[in-house]
Amino acid sequence: MEYKKMRKIINVAAGKEPADLVLKGAMVLNVFTSSFEKTNVAICEGMIAGLGRYEGIEEVDLDGKYLVPGFIDSHMHPESSLILPSEYEKAVLPHGTAAVVADPHEIANVAGLDGIDFMMDLTKDLTLKYYYTMPSCVPANELEESGAVLGREELLSYYDDPDVLGLGEVMDPPGVFAGDEQILGKIADALDRGKAVEGHGPGLVGNRIDAYTAAGIRSDHECIYAEEAIDKLAHGQWIMIREGTAAKNMELLMPLFEEPYWRRCLLVTDDIHPEDLLEEGHMDGIIRKAVSLGADPLRAIMMCTWNAASRYGLKDRGAVAPGYKADLVVISDLTKMSVESVYIGGRLAAKDGNVTRPAAAEYEKKPAIWDSFQLEEVTPQCFAYELAGESLRAIRIIKKELITEEVIVPLTPELQASGGIDTDQDIIKIAVLERHHRTGHIGLGFLNGYGLKRGAVASSVAHDAHNLIVTGTNDEDMAVAAERVRRMGGGFVLAEGGNVIAELALPAAGLMSELPVEKVAEILGKLKAEAEKLGVPEGIDPFMTLAFVSLPTIPDMRINGKGLIDVLKHKIVSATL
């Protein structure tokens, strides 16, 4: 902090000069005593100067409303919002979010360092503060086919940026346990620079969680059950309670809101779509849900303010106290989590659901981002599959979870004749087409639990390599949907009867739209309504759910361009037995 700025703040704190702004009569959250106290907050030079009796050049009477620190989303992927960062800011800032910790590994898997630089350039001047963790696994593991490969050397220079807080989720536990030189080197590089290392360890127990934590990995956002989360807490990890679009883990993790666990827990979104942001809110929506399930609102707020700042060593965030940034949220009702206004750096940034200073979206259209599809024409012949054996192995989706299961179905003559597709048994075909290097690789398999009765769904959002994924009830509609995604340079497409019936273009790396957040939400709503007509049931997001079916780091079964993957055995397996 500059000397003159510090001296002025001290003078205001000492009552020698008037504050720039005084927020009067607020019920202020004191994160150090875990209580609310009625007082005034003096703000100077974007910082909190003091609490108590102060006069200001501007004064705002909050009349007993609650004043809390700006919310922090401790783990998110900005590309998964499907919108550019300026539109994301417009969506989340009015809900009280002041900062996010972003892992840009989605776009890094498509465009490498060009993708990371693109995101960092777009966010550096926003009102919403972006911190970053560097993608640790590009590709996610050796079974994946990404658009880029990032080694430890490529990441080193980024740690000089104070806004880079650490190494992003280490998605390759087998690599850690095997002593992979690149993985352990990346972890060591971050730790040597005093940076955090984030985890991704679904199902790790016993010696495996010991080994994972001993490597310096100190968080996890993949816990489904409280028992697993508590075990990881006991081993020294921070637990991120995830509530996004596809994965909604909070309900089963409610015991973590109790003593002694809550002080080591964070609230995160991970991946969340625009319609959820506009309908349910952001961090305020997660807090609201937690309170509705019985959580103490004070604890829930602290889990995405003080706890988040503590986890990342953000020494000037997360509290309403002298010397902290004046990122503040005014709330009229704690139970409803009704955000009235948001101050960033002591300036009004959002009020009554709208930002006060909309961000401009300016960017250079680099080929690595805007011409990311390297794939030949998709035809029905791409999905031909010769069935042989006595049984068919399918990937079973579990509602509201990212984990999947293996299901074995007898290969009857009827199922054989239909090419393995039986909508009465909820078995449809699924394929992933590699789209970065023109390898021609196409992985074919079968999907259970998606509910589709007619037509096909295709998407270029397929974690984490983001190849083209398509599922359907017949090869013709699968080809129509996939080919349309290819021609658009990325997006979501529904097809039926040989025709495209709905689509959303995602031209930025095949991941993000250039449209306003409201328009993207509107189109997504129509797409999901059409998907329901085709049979996808309520509770399954047709695109976010499909996106994770290709991620070969979450148990049990996945699929990519190389074929069907048994995640626990870490190998390619046949779709027939």
Spatial neighbors of 405 by CB under 8 A, at least 6 apart, are 395, 396, 398, 556, 557
CA–CA distances in Å: residue 263 to residues 96, 213, 225, 237 = 21, 19, 18, 12
Q: Is the pLDDT of residue 525 over 80?
A: yes
Q: Which two tokens stand for residue 198?
A: 């984030």
Confidence of residue 539 (pLDDT cuts 50, 70, 90): confident
pLDDT in tens, 415-461: 999 999 999 999 999 999 999 999 999 999 999 999 999 999 999 99
- Kindly state the average pLDDT of the residues 409-420: 94
pLDDT at 303: 98
pLDDT at 358: 87
Q: Which uninterrupted H or E stretch holds 279?
A: helix 274-280
pLDDT at 362: 78
Comparing 34-38, 262-266, 283-287, 552-556, which segment has the lowest mean pLDDT? Answer: 552-556
pLDDT at 23: 98
pLDDT at 247: 86
pLDDT in tens, 236-269: 999 999 999 888 999 999 999 999 999 999 999 9
Tell me, rounded to whole angstroms, the distance of Cα 389 from its chain centroid. Answer: 40
Of 70, 123, 73, nearest to 98 (Cα)? Answer: 70
- Kindly state the average pLDDT of the residues 501-509: 98
pLDDT in tens, 342-357: 999 999 999 999 999 8
DSSP 8-state code for residue 255: G
Confidence of residue 141 (pLDDT cuts 50, 70, 90): confident
pLDDT in tens, 181-199: 999 999 999 999 999 999 9
- Kindly state the average pLDDT of the residues 147-156: 96
pLDDT at 315: 96
- Kindly state the average pLDDT of the residues 329-345: 97
Q: Is the pLDDT of residue 228 over 90?
A: yes
Q: Is the pLDDT of residue 361 over 90?
A: no
pLDDT more than 70, % of the chain: 100
Cα distance between residue 533 and residue 502, in whole Å: 12
> What homologous superfamily does CATH list for 70-316?
Metal-dependent hydrolases (3.20.20.140)
Q: Given the DSSP bridges, would you call strands 404-410 and 347-351 parallel, antiparallel or unpaired?
A: unpaired
Confidence of residue 375 (pLDDT cuts 50, 70, 90): very high
> What homologous superfamily does CATH list for 3-64?
Urease, subunit C, domain 1 (2.30.40.10)
Residue 313: what residue type? G
pLDDT at 257: 98
Q: Is the pLDDT of residue 148 over 80?
A: yes
pTM as predicted? 0.94
Q: Which two tokens stand for residue 455?
A: 């037509």
Tell me the domain boundaries of the chain: 3-64, 70-316, 372-573
pLDDT at 217: 97
pLDDT at 57: 97
Spatial neighbors of 463 by CB under 8 A, at least 6 apart, are 106, 140, 547, 548, 550, 551
pLDDT at 188: 98
Cα distance between residue 165 and residue 150, in whole Å: 18
pLDDT at 538: 87
Of 216, 221, 212, 217, nearest to 239 (Cα)? Answer: 221
pLDDT at 144: 93
Could you tell me the end-to-end alpha-carbon distance of the chain, in angstroms, rounded to an integer? Answer: 66
* C-beta neighbour count of 65 within 10 angstroms: 17
Confidence of residue 359 (pLDDT cuts 50, 70, 90): confident
Cα distance between residue 478 and residue 457, in whole Å: 7
- Kindly state the average pLDDT of the residues 362-376: 92
pLDDT at 363: 86
Q: Is the pLDDT of residue 1 over 80?
A: no
* Better pLDDT: 362 or 476: 476
